[in-house]
Amino acid sequence: MKIALAQLNYIVGDFGFNRTLMLEKIMEASGNGVDLILFSELSICGYPPLDLLERKVFIEKSTLSIETIAAEMPDNIGVIVGGPEYNDQKEGKLLFNSAYFLFNGKIEGIFRKSLLPTYDIFDEYRYFEPGKEFKILEFKGEKIAVTVCEDLWDDQPVENQFSRSRLYTINPMNELMKYQPDFIVNIAASPFAFDRQRVKRDIFTEKAKKHGIPVFMVNQAGANTELIFDGGSLAVSSDGSIFQQLKFFENDYAEFELEDVVNYSSKSESRLTDRIKLMHDGLILGIRDYFQKSGFSKATLGLSGGIDSAVTLALAAKALGNENLHVLLMPSQYSSDHSISDSEEMAGNLGIKYDIIYIEELFNQYKVLLQPVFLDKPEDVAEENIQSRIRGTLLMALSNKLGNILLNTSNKSETAVGYGTLYGDMAGGLSVLGDVYKTDVYELANYINRDDELIPINIIKKPPSAELRPDQKDSDSLPDYDVLDTILEKYIEKQLSDDDIIKEGFDAETVKRVIRMVDNNEYKRYQTPPILRISSKAFGVGRRIPLVAKY
């Protein structure tokens, strides 16, 4: 049997586009003598469709599109495509998350997802009823175990402070193995997280090794809003060796002779891709797809002479093209001369259009207008924030007038502790670095400069500063970023308590202060733009903390 993996970039709700994309690959595969071609989870409607699944017409169009593919495809090939399916029972959720098997011009079989994740960004039980029937697909002399994404993730490691080590009470593959399948098919929509690369790979290699049969996993590529899908589809041999992995972050396609994959064996472990390269490539894809799928092409940001805006600009230039960026330099009386010169050099290196708008006069006018209201109180954070909000207003004015979408440049460290100004530097249509800790922003800068000095070295080397008061440094308000980021990672990603972190040797007062800042600034994070997700615990839909609570 000849099997093809079609790793494609779908658009949520664009049934015509998705259908055409798949039919093109089906025709190609058919011409090459492929017996079975695989597309990813919910590929017909795009993943994640979220509450669009609650609209009757959306489901009807999904079903019609699958039926159209079946009617238009050649007779010599089988197709597995993901899509929602109506639950015709009176009890339970209205839908199943299903894999449709198409052959001979019609839907020949449907296989329902059993394990519905409700952790992190996933909320599948909101929409879907879990499949409770386990059956295999018999096709061209082969017995095939058809699974949908999480159905192979029942053994995934669980990192929490509880004793529970398994998420699920059911193991779909144990049930399917009763029918002695020849190989496993897994159609997936598995979002990218740089810290889950090894876990994701091991899920499929260990399943193949455990059951002694090959695994063919197809993932989607592309980004939908904040979620980035890295592709990386796999063909794994019977002993758990990786026969081939498809490209990361782009459409890819591969054909396999089943016998070649079954008999393949390798003693060497496949190498993991460098995590900074993955972050870099994933963020570029996230920016590009957010703009293209939203119908936008041009972006702006405030280029401050700092590391965050520099890295954001470099990534945006790669994603959108230099000609589609127009940035503003907005120095105040507190801005250093090198902040302006570094920014000009950065824009020049990339060939980016920029304008300089000095905000000191505007800032002074604000102070004069507010002086009676402020009751002659000494200057403090209120005046600092006015500067940031002036800049936000100017950037949004450019966005409104010229149609350049504002990119937010705040990093995860700042967002975590509230080191940012609402309606000022926290404004934007998309947050590029909101899931990247400050220490990794520097790593990204060095990676961007791996061949040429696109980011001036002075921007990388100088101490970070908001430059909202004389001689201000981030270290005046925050612990060193090496310390801060380590504490944040333990509190946010690993969800350790302050006592647990202190026991690891961190200064008690520093830990308590950092955690207090994280907890006290939840309200700010509720008002941030969508954050491109590159970790397993990004701010946004994957981390839900009440605003009004005492804990």
| Rounded distance between C-alpha atoms, residue 443 and residue 457, angstroms | 13
CB neighbourhood size of 470 (10 A): 7
| Rounded distance between C-alpha atoms, residue 267 and residue 486, angstroms | 35
Out of 45, 129, 149, 226, the active site residue is: 149
* Unique residue bearing structure tokens 């207090």: 516
Strand, helix or coil for residue 259: helix
Residues of the chain with CATH 3.40.50.620: 279-474
| Rounded distance between C-alpha atoms, residue 227 and residue 248, angstroms | 15
pLDDT along the chain (551 residues), means of 10: 98 98 98 98 97 97 98 97 95 97 97 95 95 97 98 78 71 96 98 92 96 98 97 97 97 98 89 93 98 97 96 98 98 84 96 96 95 91 94 97 97 96 96 97 97 96 79 82 96 94 96 96 94 94 86 70
Residue 547 carries which side chain, given as an amino acid letter? L
| Rounded distance between C-alpha atoms, residue 41 and residue 196, angstroms | 19
Cα 325 from chain centroid? 23
Q: Are strands 78-86 and 353-356 parallel, antiparallel or unpaired?
A: unpaired
| Rounded distance between C-alpha atoms, residue 290 and residue 228, angstroms | 10
This prediction's pTM:
0.95
Q: How many CA atoms lie within 13 A of 275 on its CB side?
A: 12
Q: In the prediction, which pLDDT does 523 show?
A: 94
Cis peptide before 456 (omega within 30 of 0): no
Out of 41, 124, 467, 489, the active site residue is: 41
Out of 2, 25, 113, 293, the active site residue is: 113
Q: In the prediction, which pLDDT does 464 show?
A: 81
Query: Which strand ranges, in their side-by-side order, compose the sheet holding 142-148?
Result: 137-139, 142-148, 183-187, 215-218, 234-236, 242-245
Tell the CATH topology of 279-474: Rossmann fold (3.40.50)
* Token reading at 144: 């095939």
What residues have CB less than 8 Å from 265, skipping those under 6 apart? 237, 239, 241
| Rounded distance between C-alpha atoms, residue 200 and residue 175, angstroms | 22
41 carries an active-site annotation: yes
Q: Are strands 183-187 and 215-218 parallel, antiparallel or unpaired?
A: parallel
Strand, helix or coil for residue 234: strand
* Token reading at 548: 């009004």
Residues of the chain with CATH 3.60.110.10: 2-273
Superfamily of domain 2-273: Carbon-nitrogen hydrolase (3.60.110.10)
**Listed residue (465, 170, 490, 194) closest to 332, CA to CA:** 465
Beta strands in 397-542 (DSSP E): 405-408, 430-431
Q: In the prediction, which pLDDT does 168 show?
A: 87
Q: In the prediction, which pLDDT does 273 show?
A: 87
Q: In the prediction, which pLDDT does 476 show?
A: 79
State the distance between the two ends of the chain, measured CA to CA, in whole angstroms. 58
* Unique residue bearing structure tokens 């700092």: 306
175 carries an active-site annotation: no
Residue 509: its H or E element = helix 508-520
Cα 411 from chain centroid? 15
45 carries an active-site annotation: no
What are phi and psi for residue 521, nearest 5 degrees? -110, 20
Q: In the prediction, which pLDDT does 159 show?
A: 61
- Do the beta carbons of residue 38 and residue 5 sit within 8 Å? yes
Is the Cα torsion angle 531, 408, 454, 304 positive or negative in sign?
Answer: negative
